Amino acid sequence: MIVPNTETLQADLLAAISWAAQQGWTPATGGNFSARTEAGYLVTASGRDKTRIQADDLLLCNLDGKVLEGNSKPSAESNLHAALYRLDASINCVLHTHTVASTVLSRRFPEGIELSGFEMQKALQGNVTHDATISLPVVPNSQDMEELAEQVRSGWPMPWGFLVAGHGIYAVGDSIASCRRHLEAIEFLLACVLEESRWS
């Protein structure tokens, strides 16, 4: 895979953040976003309105989560992003959103969310048919990023990402484009599951 230069990465990451915010997936400054660079990763500053994100809202951190460039405080969840990049060399992007479907369903199904029979499952890497049962992992929430990272490590591999209970989606991908696809597919699938739960 050709590794994009930092300027391209920054532009693509800002576009991904604006896109997610326009979907309504980052309410009340929720969500954080990052992309791997040669030096570490670019990550959003804490507490920013993602509908108004701009270049100086991104910080450069090394893989220990230490800020290398930028003056603001990194996302409160930056150390989880760092842990993901350390955990799996194939991860080049992490996109985290707070949506109603992911928040509600991760509380309802803390053991994981089963998906079966949805054509959209094929948007998740490694899936070639709707005719399979797959599970979206859910990890317990914590304010301690080391504890959260340990939960993720113990359930790895999670090739498209995972949900944090009562919190939201963490999508991962080997590029910003594949991470966006995973995020959009997970959100779509969760919306379907939530809608179906109203049938009876």
Ligand X SMILES: CSCCC(=O)C(=O)COP(=O)(O)O
Q: Which residues bind ligand X (CB under 6 A)?
A: 28-32, 44, 46-47, 75-77, 96
Q: Which of 180, 133, 141, 142 is nearest to 161 (CA)?
A: 180
Nearer to ligand X, 30 or 112 (CB): 30
Nearer to ligand X, 96 or 182 (CB): 96
Least CB distance to ligand X at residue 36 (A): 17
Least CB distance to ligand X at residue 41 (A): 14
Least CB distance to ligand X at residue 74 (A): 8
Nearer to ligand X, 32 or 99 (CB): 32
- Which residues partner with 28 through β-bridges? none
Least CB distance to ligand X at residue 29 (A): 5
- Rounded to 10°, the helix 78-87/145-155 angle is 30
The answer to whether 18 and 53 have CB atoms below 8 angstroms apart is yes
Dist CA 168 CA 165 (whole Å): 7
3-state secondary structure of 30: coil
Closest residue to ligand X: CB criterion: 75
Q: Residue ranges for the binding site?
A: 96, 98
The answer to whether 64 and 82 have CB atoms below 8 angstroms apart is yes
3-state secondary structure of 52: helix
The answer to whether 122 and 129 have CB atoms below 8 angstroms apart is yes
Q: Residue ranges for the binding site for Zn(2+)?
A: 96, 98
Nearer to ligand X, 30 or 110 (CB): 30
